[in-house]
Chain A
Amino acid sequence: MQGSPIPAMAVGVGLRAPHHDWVMDERPSVGFFEVHSENFFAPGGPGRELLDNLREDYPISLHGVGLSLGSADALDAAHLAQLACLVARVQPALVSEHVCWGAYAGRHYNDLLPLPYTEEALDLMVQRVQQVQETLGRTILVENVSSYIQFTHSTLHEWEFLAELARRSGCGLLLDVNNVHVNSVNHGFDAHAFLAGIPGSAVGEMHLAGFTRKHGLGGDLLIDSHNRRVDEAVWTLYAEAVRRFGARPTLVEWDQDLPDFEVLLDEARMATEHMHANATLPA
């Protein structure tokens, strides 16, 4: 139950509700569309119609934000069942979730909260990813999240945690390049060391987005705000990632203060240029 694969050189755009009508009317040239899975769980309504229509012309990537893979609580069985139904219906090219937690004791915080990078958290994440993959009958990608907190009792670097998670669970990685840069500033690590620690064969997709700088806290802190163009530092890191891993389906995300869709298309064009300039093409 898997749609046609997205070409490695494809650049997609995250589709949000304010752009639905424009996209349906104009059918822009986009490599693929990625949508938040939860917005399409409902049994009817405009979301279902949109997705049914969209998948006729574009590869689809389903990107979950609410499964809370890293929660100490058990996975929400109803949520996972709804995801399985959606995946079966849409047959997306990619399915992804996040390396984070978002619920405790039955209360959901609907946010991507940071995990400590410990063996305990790794064991849990491996088990959860395997549970999801078995339920869906396919491999998923998991995304590195931006964070504003680093736990002192972490025993692994973030990239070591991701690499080991991919190795032990068999999942792929959705490498959010903006999040690598944000975390490198927020937690003071070398972004190049992060990329060097990631197994390239596991990277199935990359994300690009904009961040904002938060002032007045006494130190540098970047917020993964998804409300502006991709920063130059992130383009540079993306170019390095493409040189290191090769071309991978790449997505432009923009969630707050949404501009006209043409701006997102322009960001996608820039991603394409960076990809072509840096990817090593097969002989």
Chain B
Amino acid sequence: MPMPPSLRELQRDFADALIEGEAPGLVPWIAARGIDPHARLRIYRHAGYAIHVDALEAVFPAVRALVGEDSFDGLATRYTARHGSTSGNLQHFGCEFADFLAAQPELEGYAWLPHVAHLEWLRQESLLAAQATASPASVWLEALQQAGAGALYAHLQPHVRYLQAPLPVLDVWQWTRHPQQAAPDLQGPAQHVLLWRHDTRVEMQAVSASSGAFLAAVLAGRDLADALPGGAGVLETCIAPLIEHGLLARIVTTPAPPARSET
């Protein structure tokens, strides 16, 4: 009679069965009771994939609408097999889905798809990010006075995200919500998208290229003078969307940490 597996050995073999579908070392230790142990393991394998495909469907509805349910399920299943989840919290699952789509040979003719996926992942990040308390204007003025000729940094709300895509990614995303409307031109111009959360919803807005460059620089932690693409003359244009939507948390003399995933 062989020695039974240790708990670690059992979990190793069980994990193999979930990913590869085979666990020859584990099967002898599963009580059959009229049902093939392989069939019992398959229940967990199928359930596991379904859990992760469902999680991706919830985060990437536009991608699913664009490729169709069957194709999405196939891609999501392959992504799950290859990447797996690294957290007990499924809200983290899918952060590499856009890169995964970009690497799939059969999607070579759908170069816009990873950009839509990237936009949807940024929506997820924005949805779950913190809300900072904005400093009153008097604090900003004080920072301006203190700065003198020194550097000033804008700290944005933690839920602000930015995406630059070489195609009209926001138009494509919006079209998936209203497919009865005319389809956007996939060869259309690049789009710069500002994302943020208002109450419980993620909002998105296309911004100018100069505003986009400014946003990218600010989110990367560069000082305001350095972030302005055309000098102080374009400050009003670049900062207007941030003021309009209350996305500027504070202006201070210390850099903000680079924007990162909150999920």
Contacts and interface: CB of A to CB of B under 8 A. Distances in A.
A188 B33 contact: yes
Contacts of A235: none
A221 B47 CA distance: 15
A111 B48 contact: yes
A44 B128 contact: yes
Contacts of A43: 128-130, 158, 262
A223 interface: yes
B36 A44 contact: no
B6 interface: yes
Given A153-B29, A217-B35, A223 B43 contact: yes
A160 interface: no
B91 A121 contact: no
Interface string B1-22: 0001111101110110010000
Nearest to A186: B33
B19 to A, nearest CB: 8
B230 interface: no
Contacts of A71: 11
A67 interface: yes
B200 interface: yes
A42 B85 contact: no
Contact of A151 (B31, B130, B131): B31
Given A46-B200, A66-B87, A108-B84, A120 B51 contact: no
Interface residues on A, range: 35 or more
Given A79-B88, A110-B52, A188-B33, A149 B128 contact: no
A68 B91 contact: no
Interface in B9-61: 10-12, 14-15, 18, 28-31, 33-37, 39-41, 43-44, 47-48, 51-52, 55
A110 B51 contact: yes
Interface stretch (A98-106, A236-244, A257-265): A98-106
B236 to A, nearest CB: 29
B263 interface: yes
B127 interface: yes
Contact of B88 (A42, A66, A116, A218): A66
A45 B128 contact: yes
A200 B83 CA distance: 43
Interface centre among A42, A118, A217, A223 (most CB of B within 10 A): A42
A105 B12 contact: yes
Given A42-B91, A45-B127, A151-B29, A217 B39 contact: yes
B128 A42 contact: yes
B187 interface: no
A279 interface: no
Interface string A7-50: 00000000000000000000000000000001101111111010
Nearest to A118: B7
B240 interface: no
A66 B40 CA distance: 22
B14 A104 contact: yes
A110 B48 contact: yes
B197 interface: yes
Contact of A150 (B31, B44, B131): B31
Interface in B43-100: 43-44, 47-48, 51-52, 55, 84-91, 93
B47 A111 contact: yes
A149 B30 contact: yes
Contacts of A67: 88
Nearest to A107: B84
Given A72-B8, A150-B33, 12 more contacts: A43-B158, A82-B89, A104-B12, A105-B12, A107-B15, A108-B85, A124-B7, A148-B44, A149-B44, A150-B31, A217-B35, A218-B34
6 contacts: A38-B91, A45-B128, A104-B15, A108-B87, A118-B4, A219-B35
The 9 closest A-B pairs by CB, nearest first: A66-B88, A219-B34, A153-B4, A42-B128, A46-B200, A43-B130, A72-B8, A44-B130, A38-B89
